[in-house]
């Protein structure tokens, strides 16, 4: 993990006069007649005799979202360059997500820079830190030519409101959250020949040991002995057998207990119901949910949430072979329910069903499950909006938090009429409906069959948002995104504060 060295500066004007930064980052807004300078840019503008907005307009700047324009300081500041990044239209005020995305664009543009001074933090410190660190992220572990390194050091101007102690606490929390997202991205971006059930479990064990967390892993023999039919069925076609990992954080005084469950298919070929070859390489990201909950339980320990948080992570590789499970098989799940397999590419719900039953045995107050579960999520909501399903009140609460963090969750129903479509001629239920309609919702209804009565639970389908196959944008590069780690962190904080 490569993260810039971060620091706070209390006085923007004095800090700019003696900064050792190579680049000063300011924000601009899209005005009706050209770019406007955002809060935090006043001291920089003063060094340009109040003409900075005009100079930027001459260079074609408009202040539109994520626009990056560089201007030499010509000795007016110790730093050699001012980097102006667009926040877009202000509306009733600049939102944290505008700051986060602008800071992300700046973080990408600062590649190869030794030190930067960022004034966007005067608008929102947490958003500026998260955006800068995540925008600067690159994954070069498998490249012989690494290219420009991320910015090495970043000084953030402290907001006018609040105390120095509060600002330091915000910096620490924002840095920890960004590091958790980066841990998730690193796992997602690791190729499946190096990241498979056993090696993922080894990485999880190292993180648990480094952070003083409880750790347990069940291998294929233990899974068979305890009756985890879903995980064993899905993982049976691979020479690299499945695992089930449990990692727990338990503070001295825990107000509530939260179970986290994340889908960990380290590669998904579709099994016997083989996927098309085109874009099958994207299925290296089918363990994004597992990576996210692993990083989240570690984050809970780092931020010392007054909650007991336990992550349950099923890990399997879904491959076709002579030992693969087949369409037509009936699996006996953990807890005793039986499932007829109609499609081996609807495998995630099988390993999650086992794991959700296991997680509920520990009597959590809340269960948060996240997974790259259905292509139907992308059809319904696109690549940037997750589908959020579950018990009504908790579903709406999580979806609201997700939108507030900029991770864009949307509450979706679980229509009762779809349950009959999961009826099986042989077993308690089938793993798909047999038709294409409402596939994301049907998957949620399937999972609901394995949720303990009365448990507040939520299912977050991140099939699209977890992996960016297009061009970088905001603080999101290509590859793993780390969604929904920031949401889980915010939900845990909300539960700690409000129960």
384 annotated active-site = no
210 is in an annotated binding site: no
Whole-angstrom distance, CA of residue 85 vs CA of residue 345: 43
Site of tokens 């874009």: 279
Q: What is the 3-state secondary structure (H, E, C) of the chain?
A: CCCCEEEEECCHHHHHHHCCCCEEEEEEEEECCEEEECCCCHHHHHHCCCCHHHHHHHCCCCCCCCCEEEEECCCCCCCCEEEEEECCCCCCCCCHHHHHHHHHHHHHHCCCCCEEEECHHHCCHHHHHHHHHHHCCCCCCCCCCCCCCCCCEEEEECCCCCCHHHHHHHHHHHHHHHHHHHHHHHHHHCCCCCCCHHHHHHHHHHHHHHCCCEEEEECHHHHHHHCCHHHHHHHCCCCCCCEEEEEEECCCCCCEEEEEEECEEEEECCCCCCCCCCCHHHHHHCCHHHHHHHHHHHHHHHCCCCEEEEEEEEEEEECCCCCCCCCCCEEECCCCCEEECCCCCCCHHHHHHHHHHHHHCCCCCEEEEEECCCHHHHHHHCCCCEEEEECHHHHHHHHHHHHHHCCCEEECCCCHHHHHHHCCCCCCEECCCCCCCCHHHHHHHHHHCCCCCCCEEEEEECCCCCEECCCCECCECCEECCCCHHHHHHHHHHHHHHC
407 is in an annotated binding site: no
286 is in an annotated binding site: yes
Residue 221: burial class (beta carbons within 10 Å; 0-12, 13-18, 19+): exposed
Catalytic residue among 172, 275, 419, 448: 275
Site of tokens 């007016």: 76
Q: Which of 266, 264, 267, 272 is nearest to 323 (CA)?
A: 272
Catalytic residue among 349, 358, 395, 397: 349
275 annotated active-site = yes
**How far does the chain reach from its first CA to its final CA, in angstroms?**
33
Whole-angstrom distance, CA of residue 182 vs CA of residue 294: 12
Q: Which of 202, 181, 186 is nearest to 298 (CA)?
A: 181
209 is in an annotated binding site: no
Whole-angstrom distance, CA of residue 74 vs CA of residue 71: 9
347 is in an annotated binding site: yes
Site of tokens 């953990």: 334
Q: Which residues are annotated as a binding site?
A: 263, 268, 286, 345, 347
- The residues assigned a catalytic role are 275, 349
Query: Annotated binding site for Mn(2+): which residue ranges?
Result: 263, 268, 286, 345, 347
């Amino acid at each position: 993990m490569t993260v810039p060295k971060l620091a706070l500066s209390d006085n923007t004007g004095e800090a700019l006069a003696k900064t050792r930064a190579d680049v000063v980052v300011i924000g601009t807004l899209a005005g009706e007649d050209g770019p406007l300078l955002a809060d935090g840019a006043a001291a920089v503008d003063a060094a340009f005799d109040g003409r900075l907005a005009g100079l930027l307009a001459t260079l074609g700047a408009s202040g539109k979202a994520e626009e990056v324009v560089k201007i030499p300081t010509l000795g007016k500041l110790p730093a050699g360059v001012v980097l102006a990044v667009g926040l877009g239209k202000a509306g009733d005020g600049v939102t944290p997500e505008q700051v986060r995305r602008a800071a992300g664009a700046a973080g990408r543009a600062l590649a190869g820079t030794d030190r930067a001074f960022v004034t966007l933090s005067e608008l929102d410190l947490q958003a500026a830190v998260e955006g800068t660190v995540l925008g600067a992220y690159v994954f070069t572990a498998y490249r012989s030519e690494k290219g420009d390194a991320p910015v090495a050091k970043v000084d953030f101007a402290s907001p006018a409101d609040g105390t120095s102690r509060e600002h330091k606490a915000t910096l620490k929390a924002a840095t920890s959250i960004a590091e958790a997202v980066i841990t998730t991205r690193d796992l997602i971006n690791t190729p499946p020949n190096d990241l498979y059930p056993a090696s993922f479990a080894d990485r999880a064990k190292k993180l648990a040991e480094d952070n003083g967390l409880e750790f347990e892993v069940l291998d294929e023999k233990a899974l068979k002995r305890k009756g985890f039919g879903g995980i064993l069925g899905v993982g049976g076609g691979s020479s690299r057998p499945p695992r089930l990992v449990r990692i727990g954080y338990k503070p001295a005084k825990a107000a509530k207990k939260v179970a986290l469950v994340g889908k960990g298919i380290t590669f998904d070929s579709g099994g016997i119901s083989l996927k098309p070859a085109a874009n099958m390489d994207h299925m290296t990201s089918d363990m994004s949910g597992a990576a996210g909950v692993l990083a989240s339980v570690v984050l809970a320990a780092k931020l010392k949430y007054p909650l007991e948080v336990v992550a349950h992570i099923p890990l399997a590789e879904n491959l076709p072979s002579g030992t693969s499970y087949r369409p037509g098989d009936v699996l006996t799940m953990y807890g005793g329910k039986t499932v007829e397999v109609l499609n081996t590419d609807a495998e995630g719900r099988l390993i999650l069903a086992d794991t959700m039953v296991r997680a509920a045995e520990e009597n959590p107050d809340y269960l948060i499950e996240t997974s790259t579960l259905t292509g139907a999520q992308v059809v319904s909501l696109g690549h940037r909006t997750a589908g959020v399903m579950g018990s009504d009140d908790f579903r709406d609460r999580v979806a609201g938090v997700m939108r507030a963090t900029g991770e864009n969750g949307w509450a979706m129903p679980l229509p009762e009429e779809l349950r009959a479509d999961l009826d099986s001629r042989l077993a308690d239920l089938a793993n798909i409906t047999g038709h294409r309609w409402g596939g994301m919702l049907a998957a949620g209804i399937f999972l609901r069959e394995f949720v303990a009565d009365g448990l507040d639970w939520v299912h977050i389908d991140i099939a699209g948002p977890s992996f960016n196959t297009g061009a970088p944008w905001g603080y999101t590069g290509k590859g793993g995104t780390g969604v929904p780690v920031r949401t889980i962190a915010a939900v845990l904080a909300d539960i700690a504060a409000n129960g």
